[in-house]
Amino acid sequence: MKLPSVIRTRPFSDSWFCSRYQVSPYRGCRHGCLYCDGRAEKYYVEGSFDQDITSRDDLPGRLTSDIRKLRERGYVSLGSGVTDAYQPLEAEKELTRQIASILLEYRIPAVVLTKSVLALRDLDLWSELSRTSSFHLLVSFSTLNEEIRKVVEPNASSVNERLDMIRRFRDACCPVSVLAMPLLPGISDTGEDSPLNFPESVRPDCIMPSTLTLRPGRQKDLFLDCIRKNFPEKLPLYKDLYRENRASGSPLDKYCDSLYRETSRILLKKGIPPMIPHRIWKGHVSLADEISFLLAHMDVLYSMRKVDTKALKKALLSYEAWIKTIRTDFNRRRSLSREYLDDLILMYSRNGSLSDLFGNEKLGQFFRDVLEKGMILDYINCRLDQNSQ
């Protein structure tokens, strides 16, 4: 029987983490974060989420053959909403280190999401991958207050350990960004405890903020119980913000809008982008993904600056519908070369078809500069630059 690939290929590449592929060596997580979205029934994690961990011991042995079948350039993401590739079990299993060795052998770019300093064990491999291909570390924080961290992330690395890890990866010339998520309402969404307020000595390549989602069921019940026991004065706030019991777990729109305005203000003031900068992943993803990532990122960057982004949203929808059809045909016709998609994108750029697809000549010219001249969008000033790298 043919086994499914151990590499998950998304229908649309992930513009948040700029990755095309995903590898998850574990399911469940012993960090035991009480807010973790992976606890929700939606993800079908059986047993106790932070105790009954599933490890995919056969993954490294199968990874090499699956890598050889990949047809598009793109990052492999390690970690997901239901696991951390460097959770405590990794110290024993070393599955992530084996994966890192294989990615390095084939020079496959990688992005790792973690809140564990165990990642430092593999700094030798990741720094070499950063030199020969591309590597990006995303370190997660829900707060900069260690006492709060002990309550909501009982088995994760301390705040100071993570800050030191950022410095050490940066000293090794590895790009490092921060996942400021989830921002806990009334606890770490504002003020000195917020993970947006890093000391000047820690300057990540980007800070990606997001609010807490509480999906109805065991995830929400567990976290509200945590609030009741440890932050009882905040319980009325949580009951109000999450009273609609949305399937997505999102709080009230008015809170999300207010938080978005405040995080945008802080990041603009600091001169730190909210998305992974173009200069990091330029040349390591397919041209098809470069277009979709930039359209999605520009929507965020210009919205922060209160610029109307209707044209960008429309262009992204048109492009996604088009590229989905093109990719379906490409994946069905295995005789097509791996360069086929990039060549097609360049042809569409040169003959003006991208402008027609976007319905916007200015946007078409922007992508001609990006795709044909190799220019890079600076996310701080929102201008194209030939020398941003």
Per-residue pLDDT of the chain (389 residues; tens, 9 = 90+): 566 789 998 778 899 999 999 999 998 999 999 999 888 877 767 778 888 899 999 999 999 999 999 999 999 999 876 889 999 999 999 999 999 999 999 999 999 999 999 999 999 999 999 999 999 999 999 999 999 999 999 999 999 999 999 999 999 999 999 999 999 999 999 999 999 988 878 889 999 999 999 999 999 999 999 999 999 999 999 999 999 999 999 999 999 999 999 999 999 999 999 999 999 999 999 999 999 999 999 999 999 999 999 999 999 999 999 999 999 999 899 899 999 999 999 999 999 999 999 999 999 999 999 999 999 999 999 999 875 44
Q: Which helix (H) or strand (E) holds 180?
A: strand 176-183
The DSSP symbol for 149 reads H
CA distances from 15 to 6, 79, 336 (A): 21, 15, 26
| Amino acid sitting at position 328 | T
Whether the CB-CB separation of 371 and 287 falls below 8 Å is answered with yes
d(CA 142, CA 284): 29
pTM: 0.94
CA 320 vs. chain centroid, Å, equals: 19
